[in-house]
């Protein structure tokens, strides 16, 4: 059985779309590249929300994706070699363009590891909270944060605000 998880809230009547493209490749590319790829390999012109953007909205979306592609292709595409600041902007960019959760989690894992290695606890806490909630969503709503939950004993999730957004955060206990 294949499970499908929404990356955002769905209201009644909303059209539900699925991305054909991997987030670590063409899926993170600018519109013209994505559309060319879909037309060549799948034979259709994509009319999803991201592809229908125009004007300043499209400019902003494409700019975000150019930043993502540049972070993805630096250091031979190895996430574990990216500096903390690049991993942070990559993670933020992927969230802004609504990239697929498994890839966002892959980046989040690299980000958490890098932040811990550099002793940046604020960045580590933000990454942990982010990974925890993504894992819980991937786990099907009733998820427990999976491997991230094991980082904290006897966690009792609380909501905290990180960078202007609310995250589910496992509270540490003495
Ligand atoms: Zn599209």
22 closest CA partner among 87, 100, 77, 135: 100
Residue 62 near residue 78 (C-beta atoms within 8 A): no
Residue 92 lies in a domain: yes
Instruction: Tell me the residues surrounding ligand 1 (ion) with CB < 5 Å.
Output: 46, 48, 51
Q: How far is the CA of 15 from the centre of ligand 1 (A)?
A: 13
Model's pTM, two decimal places? 0.78
Domain count, the chain: 1
**Mean pLDDT score of the chain:** 84
Does 22 reside within a domain?
no
- pLDDT score for 156: 55
Instruction: Say what percent of the chain tops pLDDT 70.
Output: 80
What average pLDDT score do residues 88-106 get? 92
User: Which residues span the domain enclosing 99?
Assistant: 54-169
- Contact of 114 with 150, CB cutoff 8 Å: no
Sorted by sequence, the CB contacts under 8 Å of residue 56 that are 6+ apart come out as none
The yes-or-no verdict on residue 116 having pLDDT over 60 is yes
Could you tell me if residue 16 is inside a domain? no
How many angstroms does the Cα of residue 49 sit away from the middle of ligand 1? 6
| pLDDT tens string 131-148 | 988 888 887 545 555 666
């Amino acid at each position: 059985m294949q499970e499908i998880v929404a990356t955002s809230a769905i209201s009644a009547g909303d059209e539900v779309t699925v991305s054909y493209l991997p987030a670590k490749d063409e899926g993170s590319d600018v519109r013209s590249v994505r559309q060319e790829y879909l037309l060549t390999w799948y034979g259709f012109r994509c009319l999803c929300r991201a592809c229908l953007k125009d004007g300043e909205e499209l400019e902003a979306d494409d700019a975000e994706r150019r930043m993502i592609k540049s972070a993805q292709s630096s250091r031979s595409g190895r996430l574990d070699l990216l500096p903390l600041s690049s991993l942070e902007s990559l993670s933020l960019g992927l969230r802004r363009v609504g990239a697929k959760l498994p890839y966002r989690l892959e980046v989040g894992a690299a980000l958490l590891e890098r932040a811990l290695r550099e002793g940046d606890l604020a960045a580590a806490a933000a990454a942990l909270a982010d990974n925890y909630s993504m894992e819980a969503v991937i786990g099907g709503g009733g998820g427990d944060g999976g491997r991230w939950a094991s980082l904290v004993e006897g966690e009792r999730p609380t909501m905290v605000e990180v960078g202007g957004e609310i995250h589910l955060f496992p509270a540490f206990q003495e």
